[in-house]
Amino acid sequence: MSKPSAETSKLSVKRTQNRNRILDAAEALFYEKGFSSTPLRKIIKKSGLSTTVFYSFFPTKVDVLIGLILPLGEEINRRLNAAFKDSTSDGDPIEKALHIALQVCAKDRRLTKIFVTETAALNLQSQGPLRKVTDRLKQIVIGQLDLGVAKGYFRSVDPTIFAYSFIATFDMHLYRWAVLGELSKQEMIGSARALAEVFRCGLPQSDRGKTKDKRKKG
């Protein structure tokens, strides 16, 4: 297979730069004015790109929003997969998962604010425009739940109910930090243990998981 030419590589870099310029412009405007109050033309103007270039990346304003916030969930998933690759991982898996997810969100308060405010507002309808994001987050949570069950961390529960409960609680916690300002970044990340207690009550460990804990205490 022939290697891409220098010209092709330059074009690829340019496309990535242009896409990022659009996303950066949208993030600043969505954070300041909100999604609904930001006309598409303002995103295009702030990005400094032409309308044609914009539409080559994003057919609609909703697609821009999805392009902004979906990577948050994907990064959380990558970090969780890496953390739980070893079945002998120490500590409470729920607390560990929450701590990782909160750490990822803590890296960008602006983007987190957009995520928790706009996904809630735009998903009031069963087929809301950000349904793709919600469904992907649900898949991530269910995937991590299945992994925990397979490795004996806890028993199986209804995955859909658990996923939506987890996402709702997680979103409200982020909302208290990113929007209301009730929590500092350190408090937000540090509360993973308290949040884990909520889920631990409804997601008991399997006998295998209890045995592991007894061995550690012994």
The domain limits of the chain are: 1-59, 61-217
Render pLDDT for 4-40 as a digit per residue (tens, 0 to 9): 677 778 888 999 999 999 999 999 999 999 988 999 9
What is the model's pLDDT at position 211?
41
What is the model's pLDDT at position 206?
46
CATH of 1-59, one of 2.60.120.560, 3.90.550.10, 3.40.50.720, 1.10.10.60: 1.10.10.60
Render pLDDT for 49-96 as a digit per residue (tens, 0 to 9): 999 999 999 999 989 998 998 888 889 888 888 887 765 556 677 788
> Mean pLDDT over residues 183-210, rounded?
73
Render pLDDT for 134-179 as a digit per residue (tens, 0 to 9): 777 788 888 878 877 887 766 778 888 888 888 888 888 899 999 9
What does each C-alpha distance from 180 to 117, 166, 175, 192 come to in angstroms?
A: 11, 20, 6, 18
Instruction: Give the closest residue to 47 by CA, choosing from 75, 83, 23, 72.
Output: 23
Name the more confident of 184 and 157.
184
What CATH code would you report for 61-217? 1.10.357.10
